[in-house]
Every structure is written in C-alpha cells, then in structure tokens.
C-alpha cells in the first residue's frame, strides 16, 4: 500500500488519538502537545512550525515536528568558517544567513522530534518526511535541511537512510544526564568522593556568606514571578552561549509554566527581594529536565550563583523522586564533575540544491567540526555504582528513543 504524508500547521489540527499511537506524549517532553503548542503560540515571530504524519492506509507509521529558522552561520558553525564568514561579510552582508528547515523543534529535551511505529523499516517513512521538508523549503525560500539531536541509537538506526538521501553528519554538544535515586542533595553529597564534595561545599558557603536565599515556585505562580527583568537573566546566559539559534521570549516561559502547572518548577535565588539567578525545570514522571537558567553575572562570582541554583534545583528534584535529571548541554566539565553521563548527539544536514550540497560536502569538516567528548570523572565513592549509559538507559526506557540545550 502506498504511503501518504499529511502536513499540519499546528498540533491542534492533529487528532490526539493519532498522536498517542506512537507513545505517551505526557512522558515524552519533545513530543508533548503542551510544549509544542506553547512554542507555536509564543515564538511565531521567530519561526514557522509544522507537524508531519506518515500513514499506510489508516495506520500511522511515523510523526515528525518541523521548523523553519533563519540561521546565522556565525552562531552555529565552527571557528574557522566563522572567521571566513566575517571576512566575506565585509562585501556581502547576507553571506550564510540562510533559511533552514529542521526536522526538530527548539525544545531542549535531549531528543529528536521523530517517532516511528515499532518494528517498521524507517527508510520509507524518513523518505516521506524528507520530501515534505524539501517542499516546505522550496515554498519558503530555505536552502538547507537539517535533522537535529539524534542520539547514538537513533543515529545508528537512521544514518544509512539519511546519508542515502544526501545528508552529511555532524556533531552537536553532548547531553548530560544524572541518575537520581538520592533522597536529597545532602544524600547525594554523602555519596561523593571527598574532593568533589569539597568543591560543592565551598560554593555553598559562598552563597550563605553572601546572605542570599533560595525559593521555589510552580505553575501559575511562576507567571507572576517571571517578570521582564527576570527574563533578562536568561538573556544574559543566552548571549554567552556558543551556539545560539533561538531566543525564547518572556511570554514563552510564562505560557509554558501555565501549560504544565505543577510540573513546571522555578528555582530562584534572591538577594533581598531581587531575583539574581533561576533554573526552570519541567518534570515528566520521574524524569526531570533542567531546561533554562538565568544568571546575574555581576554577582555570580560573589556567590557562585550558577552552581548553587543548580544544586538547589537538584535537591528539589531528588526530594520529589527524580530517577533521572537532564542537566542539558555544554558546561561539560562542571556537569561531568557532578557525576553525569554524557550522551553524544548528532545532526544530519544537506543543501536543497544538489550542486550546493556537493559544495557543502567539500567544506563539511570546517562547517561541521567534530566536537571533543566531555571529560569523565569517577566522582562517587568506590562503594557506589558508577553511572553508565547502559545503566541510565535501563532506568529510563524513553531515553533509548529520546535524548538544549537545556540550562545552557
């Protein structure tokens, strides 16, 4: 039977029963309709989104979320190509500012945005999604197609088809996860080797000495706390990020908190009555996602705000039964010293035009430079089991099929 591909402009146009046939969206942050709907409504000025369903008759075989971005190579490529681009832009200001159709959304969930029915050959379904991406690119004047944030298992399963379709592989920063199971942050500290525990306690003492205090809010309470001034703290972090694709609005944070209710948690640090740091977390069962951070860098060194807001966020997650915490991408050394597992992530890209794609292949090693793996530290006491990717996968089945930049 022939496959058919349907394209929707909004998640609200998709039958919820169809969406649920490929998994439980409430336990899959990347495909959670609340998250997708919030993006559609809050960030429509930055990008377009589509939902693609691939069927054989009435049977749903696959689903994907697509997005159109205007991408600046200075914010997404390697240092050598950035240097070349700066020189060329002296005479050609629009060089490498291009439209890109992504198979994926800017949701820092550590997961690709493709779901396939179990047991099927992924090739024909991916071919249908690729055709939809090409058509949308032509309709919207985009020149590049990208499948983003594939973990090792997904990349192994899908790479053959994508490369046959002309896509080139590349690396993106690894996703860090930390196994939970601790009763509290104090319990976690007790399990660390002395030198790693001492590094954390030094930061904790700085926060206490500064006289700052920590508080929490959930759901709609976040909406009143998350002012435009607080949002500037997020922009501070965003502006320091090496990879910058999207800029989330203050309304996005408020709308996300309202949509997720008690599953949305804001951990924040106060200097008297002024918020000087925050961590925005979403929970899906026993999996917690540290999605976004905001920091007043003028006061960061005084109290190690970046470290301490994460410590208190971890404490909240542990006390609420987290079995796995997604710590996000980048800040590799810091997160590795917490005992995280780093999961390599990959993307696949091609130019829409075959001639341009041949040219892209020639410069791929500069445009898509390899990313060195994060360091690995044995931070837990010898009588503690050392976390491993296999162990993490065993306690979170969704991570085998779903993997930022959370709290970058």
Mean pLDDT, the chain, rounded, equals: 87
Q: What is the pLDDT of residue 83?
A: 63
Residue 219 has pLDDT above 50, yes or no: yes
Q: Where in the chain is the domain with CATH 3.40.630.30?
A: 3-174+344-367, 181-322
Which stretch of 89-98, 292-301, 391-400 has the lowest confidence by average pLDDT?
Answer: 391-400
Q: What is the pLDDT of residue 73?
A: 59
Residue 122 has pLDDT above 80, yes or no: yes
Fold of 181-322: Aminopeptidase (3.40.630)
Residue 175 has pLDDT above 90, yes or no: yes
pTM equals 0.86
Q: How far apart are CA 350 and CA 143, in angstroms?
A: 9
Residue 87 has pLDDT above 60, yes or no: no
Question: Which pLDDT band holds residue 254 (cuts at 50, 70, 90)?
Answer: very high
Question: Which pLDDT band holds residue 351 (cuts at 50, 70, 90)?
Answer: very high
Reading the block at residue 135, the tokens are 């058509």
247 vs 388, residue with greater confidence:
247
Kindly state the average pLDDT of the residues 314-340: 94
What CATH superfamily classification does 3-174+344-367 receive? Gcn5-related N-acetyltransferase (GNAT) (3.40.630.30)
């Amino acid at each position: 039977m022939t496959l058919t591909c349907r394209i929707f402009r909004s998640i609200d146009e998709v039958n919820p029963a169809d969406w649920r046939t490929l998994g439980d969206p409430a336990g899959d942050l990347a495909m959670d309709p609340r998250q997708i709907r919030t993006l559609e409504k809050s960030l429509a000025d930055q990008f377009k989104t589509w939902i693609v369903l691939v069927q054989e008759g009435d049977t749903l075989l696959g689903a994907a979320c697509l997005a159109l971005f205007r991408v600046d190579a200075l914010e997404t490529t390697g240092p050598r190509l950035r240097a070349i681009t700066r020189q060329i832009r002296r005479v050609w200001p629009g060089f490498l500012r291009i439209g890109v159709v992504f198979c994926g959304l800017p949701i820092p969930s550590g997961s690709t945005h493709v779901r396939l029915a179990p047991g099927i050959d992924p090739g024909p379904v991916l071919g249908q999604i690729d055709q939809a991406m090409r058509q949308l690119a032509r309709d919207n004047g985009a020149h590049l197609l990208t499948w983003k944030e594939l973990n090792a298992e997904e990349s192994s399963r899908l790479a053959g088809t994508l490369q046959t379709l002309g896509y080139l592989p590349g690396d993106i920063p690894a996703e860090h996860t930390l196994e939970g199971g601790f009763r509290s942050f104090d319990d976690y500290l007790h399990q660390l080797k002395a030198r790693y525990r001492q590094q954390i306690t030094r930061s904790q003492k700085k926060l206490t000495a500064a006289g700052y205090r920590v508080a929490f809010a959930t759901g709609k309470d976040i909406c009143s706390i998350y002012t435009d001034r607080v949002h500037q703290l997020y922009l501070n972090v965003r502006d320091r990020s090496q990879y910058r694709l999207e800029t989330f609005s203050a309304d996005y944070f408020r709308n996300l908190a309202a949509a997720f209710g008690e599953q949305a948690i804001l951990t924040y640090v106060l200097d008297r009555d002024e918020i000087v740091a925050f961590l925005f977390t979403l929970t899906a069962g026993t999996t917690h996602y540290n999605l976004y951070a905001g920091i007043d860098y003028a006061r960061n060194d005084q109290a190690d705000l970046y470290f301490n807001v994460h410590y208190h966020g971890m404490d909240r997650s542990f006390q609420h039964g987290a079995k796995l915490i997604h710590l996000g991408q980048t800040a590799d050394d810091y997160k590795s010293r917490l005992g995280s597992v780093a999961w390599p992530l990959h993307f696949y890209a091609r130019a829409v035009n075959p001639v341009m794609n041949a040219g892209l292949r020639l410069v791929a090693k500069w445009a898509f430079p390899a990313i060195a793996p994060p360091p690995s530290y044995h931070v837990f006491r010898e009588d503690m089991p050392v976390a491993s990717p296999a162990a993490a996968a065993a306690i979170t089945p969704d991570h085998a099929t779903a993997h930022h930049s959370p709290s970058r």
